[in-house]
Homo-oligomer: A and B are copies of this chain.
C-alpha cells in the first residue's frame, strides 16, 4: 500500500510498504478515508526527534473497518470509525481511571497517512458513527482522532470551569481546539495568544473573546492587564517549548492549573515559582478514547466543528507538500485523502 515514510529531517516520501494485517484476534484493519499531519510530526521533520529512516509516520485517521480479528465483538467490516492515536483495551486499571493513553495494553497508530491502518484492541480503542457520515462531517470526525481530543485534554487538565477565564498559549491546531474546548466547558473569557491573522480569525470563531498578539514578557503583561492583574483561572499550554511553558506559568493565577499537551522539548519546569504561587501542572498524552463518546456527540450534533482547523486538503500523493506547508506555517493543519 501507499504510506508516508520519513527518511531524514525534511525528507518525507510516499512509499510502497506492506499492507498491515491482523496479528492478534483483537486487532482490526481500517481502510483510511482521511488522515492528517500533526504538529508533533514536525518535531522529527525538523530534526528535533530521532528518526528511524524509512519508518512510517502519521497517527491520525478515520476510515472504514476492512477486517477484524476473530475476537472483535463491537465492530465489523464497513463500520465508519474514529481511530484514536493511542489504542487501549478500555478495561484495564489505567483505562478505568481515565488514563487510556497509559493503557497496560497500549498501542499506537503507525500509519495514519496511508491507505490502511492497523488498530490493536479494536473493541476498546475504536468508536463508530451511526451509519456512514456525510462527507462534510469527515474533517471534524478526523479531528477527534487526536487534535480536538488533545485540546480538550488541555482544557480539562487546566480545570476550565463554567464562568472561568482561560488563556490558550499556542495557536496551532491543538491550541485552536483548546479554545473550542474551553468554550464548551463554559469559560466566560478565552484569551488566545496568536500573531497570525487566519489563526486569530479561527480562534474567534471557536470562541476566543480576546486575542493577544504580543509574545513573551510583553504578551504576559497584556494578559495580566486583561485579567485585572490577577492572572487566568486556567492556562492551556499547547506548544511544548520552554518559552511557551514559562509564559503559561507567568499567566496562571495563584491556585490555578496549567494544562499541558505539547510534547515537552527542552522544558525546565519552574518548580520554585509553582511552589510559591501554588500553580500546578497536569496533562500529557491525551487519553483520546476517554473523551471520544462525548466529542462524537458534539460533532454529530453540530455543536462543535473542529474540522475547521484543516485549511488545506491534499491527496495523499502530495503529502510532502503538506509537511512543507505546515512547517512554513502556510497551513494550520493538512488533511490527506488516500
Contacts and interface: CB of A to CB of B under 8 A. Distances in A.
A99 B280 contact: no
B271 A277 contact: no
A109 interface: no
A99 B281 contact: no
A254 B99 contact: yes
Interface in A139-178: 157
Contacts of A233: 97
A21 B17 CA distance: 81
A271 B270 CA distance: 11
Given A98-B255, A102-B277, A254-B99, A269 B269 contact: yes
Contacts of A271: 264, 267-269
A285 interface: yes
Given A264-B272, A274-B284, A280-B282, A255 B93 contact: no
A267 B274 CA distance: 12
* Chain A residues touching B, majority SS: mixed
Contact of A255 (B97, B228, B276): B97
A102 B272 contact: no
A284 B252 CA distance: 14
A260 interface: yes
A272 B245 CA distance: 13
A255 B99 contact: yes
Given A264-B271, A264-B272, A94 B280 contact: no
Given A275-B283, A281-B274, A281-B280, A254 B157 contact: no
Contacts of A99: 253-255, 277-278
Given A271-B269, A275-B260, A278-B101, A287 B255 contact: yes
Given A254-B99, A255-B98, A278 B285 contact: yes
Q: For A157, A271, A274, A279, which residue has the most chain B Cβ atoms within 10 angstroms?
A: A271
Given A275-B284, A283-B275, A284-B278, A230 B264 contact: no
Given A260-B275, A271-B264, A275-B263, A97 B254 contact: yes
Nearest to A92: B230
26 contacts: A93-B228, A93-B253, A94-B254, A94-B255, A97-B233, A97-B253, A99-B255, A99-B277, A99-B278, A101-B278, A102-B278, A157-B280, A257-B280, A257-B282, A260-B275, A264-B271, A264-B272, A268-B271, A274-B284, A275-B285, A276-B284, A276-B285, A278-B282, A278-B283, A280-B280, A281-B281
A246 B233 CA distance: 28
A285 B272 CA distance: 10
A230 B260 contact: no
Given A97-B253, A101-B254, A157-B280, 6 more contacts: A93-B253, A255-B287, A264-B272, A274-B281, A278-B282, A278-B283
